[in-house]
Amino acid sequence: MRDHVSYRHPNLDGGSSLDRVLEILKQYWGYETYLPQQREAIACGVAGRDSLVVLPTGGGKSLCFQVPAMRLPGMAIVVSPLLSLMKDQVDALTENGIAAARIDSTQTPDERDDVLASIRRQELKIVYVSPERLMMNGFADFLKQHPISMIAIDEAHCVSMWGHDFRPEYRRLGQLKTTFPDTAIHAYTATATQHVRDDIVEQLHLVNPKVLVGSFDRPNLIYSVERRTEVLRQVREVLDRHKGESSIVYCIRRADVDDLVDQLRDVGYRVAGYHAGLLDRERKAAQNAFIRDEVDIIVATVAFGMGINKPNVRAVIHAGMPKSLEHYQQESGRAGRDGLDAECVLLYGGNDYGTWKYIIEQSESEQAVRIALQKLGDMSSYASGVICRHRALVEYFGQTLEADNCKACDVCFGDLELAEDALVVSQKILSCVFRLDQRFGADYTANILLGSKEQRILQAGHNDLSTYGLLSEFTKKRVRDWIEQLVGQGYLVKGGEYNVLSISERGWKALRGEETPRLLKPAERSRKHTVLEDSWEGVDRGLFDTLRVLRRKHATARNVPAYIVFGDACLRDMARRRPSSIEGFLEVSGVGQAKARQYGEEFVATIAEYCRTHALDRDIDPSVKPVPKPARCKKRTRATLDLSRQLAFGRFEKGESIIAVSDAIEKKPEVAIKYLLDYIAQEGLTTPEPWVDLGTFDRIADVAKIKGTARIMAILKEVSDVADYDQVKISIECLKNL
């Protein structure tokens, strides 16, 4: 048997080697810059130094090992826990012109033999395997006979018992340092506390590893938390903000998944369900339908998700509270992996804690129960808390948020209102629990505080308690919510089969006035915040939709998910730049040479036809800011405008309607609206009459003062009873001139 062939690489502190790496990044992936921590992580890979890299979902972890694998001689081994992830990664690499393969149980013997033969011929740069396959008797010995450049362990938190997805088979990977003593090992994960990071280093026997931890903050995600009242209505409100886009809905129980799928399907949503109770082929079919955009929505338990590489998920809804903040960070992090804005909504109810507590106590060992319940308490505190959601998440993982206002959560948007006299109200509730000898549940306690005349209360003589009727001016729902908030913040504890309330040490401090709980009340108006408009800046949405259709055609023909062809962020950049040549196409972020050769001609031709039809300029440089709007008295000469625009501007000057102008220039109404927006900007108009009446304009202006003029969709939510999207856009354009 040949000796294990490996490489020791010089440390790369100089720039030249990493410059070559940047060339590889551009050539194969179409990116010209690194994301935070990528440069350092790639340098470790090329230098052959063990590393642990913790980057948030969407932070570019895969490139941290794929890029050095292309830079180094030999073949990289990537350990991945999920077959679907392996297939996606290999498909994406192959599309980029990289020699990659996988070995897994879904392959036929002939397919596996073909991969093994390619390894023997040293034709592959990257091979994906499961931990079980890698540690299988004889397989490591086979790999030792061939040049191995590096070993990458993806989803490395599975190694740690403290991790949220601990997998016993991952523990065996600690043998790799003995089997491949001269090969650098690199561990990658999206979610790991300090305790988990230390455990990963110890269990994998990493030698003097470079530990790189990126920011856990995902500024493109918009977080909000709501008390669960009418789950179908609340879920639909979010889904309707993202029509035609991909969304994930998580439920705690399988039965909840099945019920919600049926209800959504009955009212016309394209939806599939996923949980461990389904047959394997049913789960696989649902997952594939979601990945390939055959359905917009997947409703699932936590059995779905780890390793799902779909970058264009625009909303993640939790219809029930997850069991840990690690789970929530990872599950919500499946939204907006492409870096574009996405929405994460958590709906929680008072029974979520008890449901998870029961599940945990039934299925975990004694030590694991202790750890899991601690994590569950942290999750409950987040759900009932009133501090910035982004701040709460990053602080849980040991980091700080610099900004005072994240501008991307319900707390910072001002959607939550604190109850007046929170300490007094809390003391009344805590006192009532004490007067009831800490022997009753939340519902009974609320009835006492409300002064209920239920027979059981009168028979027990509890109407004589000093706390009877102390909160009678409020609704029962409000009082029940406050009780749950006190539980979530740790002032009250539920225990036993009937969730009896008792006062915690922190609760006694509140009773003595040493701590003040924060109690919420519903906002006066429902103010739902959706994705920001910034990620659409300069993008022609019609062209984006046209390119999505073309992308789907190619994805269907190649039997791969649409995002393997091009991601949404890439399509938006195409619709922003509108390149007229292959050279310009290569400037689009996410377009490498292989994809330009394969798709460039057809995509450029499609862009050309769309721009011709809609009178759009091409070869736009996004880095060049538009020329400031001229003052109203300095009109641009009409000779600088194309003929259609000239005609439209002349008719708008006469006050003609959008439909009349659309007919006159023989273009779609959306083109006429675009011309109208340009006309308003050029002329410096400050009122939108006759296209929007002044009453509607005043209403839009009032909301814009609160929301800001950049947040079109948020404004529309407030004025949808009197205005449509186009009227809001027209009004905002006028407001910009004030």
* Alpha carbons 88 and 83: distance in angstroms, whole number: 9
Q: Is 529 a domain residue?
A: no
Q: Can you give the residue range of the structural domain that contains 375?
A: 221-403
Tokens of 34: 């690194």
Which residues are paired to 344 by β-bridges?
Answer: 223, 316
Give pLDDT tens digits for 440-492.
Answer: 999 899 999 999 999 999 999 999 999 999 999 888 888 988 888 888 778 99
In this structure, the answer to whether residues 243 and 382 fall within a common structural domain is yes
The pLDDT of 194-214, averaged and rounded, is 91
Domain count, the chain: 5
pLDDT of residue 89: 87
Instruction: Identify the CA nearest to 81 among candidates 152, 158, 150, 143.
Output: 158
pLDDT of residue 11: 42
DSSP 6: B
Which CATH number covers residue 493?
Answer: 1.10.10.10
Q: Is 459 a domain residue?
A: yes
Which residues are paired to 6 by β-bridges?
Answer: 148
Q: Which among 613, 630, 659 is the end of a domain?
A: 613
Tokens of 371: 């750890």
Q: Which among 403, 436, 469 is the end of a domain?
A: 403
Whether the CB-CB separation of 415 and 523 falls below 8 Å is answered with: yes
Give pLDDT tens digits for 679-738.
Answer: 888 888 888 988 998 889 989 998 888 877 777 777 887 888 888 888 888 998 898 888
Tokens of 445: 């306690």
Q: Is the dihedral of CA 164, 169, 170, 171 positive or negative?
A: positive
Q: Tell me which residue has tokens 């209360």.
A: 457
* Alpha carbons 68 and 41: distance in angstroms, whole number: 9
Tokens of 543: 């062209």
Whether the CB-CB separation of 415 and 224 falls below 8 Å is answered with: yes
Which residues are paired to 211 by β-bridges?
Answer: 52
Position 129 pLDDT exceeds 90: yes
Tokens of 340: 């574009």
Give pLDDT tens digits for 69-128.
Answer: 999 999 999 998 877 778 888 988 999 999 999 998 888 899 999 999 999 999 999 999
Q: Is 282 a domain residue?
A: yes
Give the length of the chain: 738
In this structure, the answer to whether residues 257 and 352 fall within a common structural domain is yes
Work out the mean pLDDT of the chain and round it to a whole number.
84
* Alpha carbons 497 and 538: distance in angstroms, whole number: 58
Give pLDDT tens digits for 133-172.
Answer: 888 878 888 998 999 999 999 988 888 866 556 677 788 8
In this structure, the answer to whether residues 157 and 293 fall within a common structural domain is no
Give pLDDT tens digits for 679-690.
Answer: 888 888 888 988
The pLDDT of 660-669, averaged and rounded, is 76
In this structure, the answer to whether residues 50 and 134 fall within a common structural domain is yes
In this structure, the answer to whether residues 161 and 71 fall within a common structural domain is yes
What's the burial of 243, exposed, middle or buried (CB within 10 Å: 0-12/13-18/19+)? exposed
In this structure, the answer to whether residues 259 and 397 fall within a common structural domain is yes
Q: Is 630 a domain residue?
A: no
How many C-alpha atoms does 638 have within 13 Å on its Cβ side? 10
Whether the CB-CB separation of 571 and 579 falls below 8 Å is answered with: no
Helix (H) or strand (E) holding 271: strand 271-274
In this structure, the answer to whether residues 191 and 227 fall within a common structural domain is no
In this structure, the answer to whether residues 109 and 61 fall within a common structural domain is yes
First to last CA, the chain: 80
Distance of CA 38 to the CA centre of its chain: 20
Which CATH number covers residue 592?
Answer: 1.10.150.80
In this structure, the answer to whether residues 241 and 294 fall within a common structural domain is yes
In this structure, the answer to whether residues 257 and 397 fall within a common structural domain is yes
* Alpha carbons 301 and 280: distance in angstroms, whole number: 15
Report angle CA 478, 482, 486 to the nearest 5 degrees. 170
Give pLDDT tens digits for 394-415.
Answer: 888 888 887 778 888 888 887 7
Give pLDDT tens digits for 253-310.
Answer: 999 999 999 999 999 999 999 998 888 889 888 988 898 888 999 999 887 765 567 8
Give pLDDT tens digits for 611-656.
Answer: 998 888 899 888 765 544 433 333 333 333 356 677 788 788 878 8
Q: Is 714 a domain residue?
A: yes
pLDDT of residue 420: 75
The 10 Å CB-count burial string (b at 16+, else e) for 168-177 is eebbebeebb
pLDDT of residue 535: 65
In this structure, the answer to whether residues 203 and 256 fall within a common structural domain is no
Give this prediction's pTM. Answer: 0.64
Helix (H) or strand (E) holding 185: strand 185-189
Phi-psi region of 619 (alpha: psi -120 to 50; beta: other; left: phi over 0): left
In this structure, the answer to whether residues 260 and 385 fall within a common structural domain is yes
pLDDT of residue 272: 94
Which CATH number covers residue 296?
Answer: 3.40.50.300
The 10 Å CB-count burial string (b at 16+, else e) for 82-118 is bbbbbbbbbbbbbbbebebbbbbeeeeeeebeebeee
Angle (deg, nearest 10), helices 725-735 and 712-719: 120
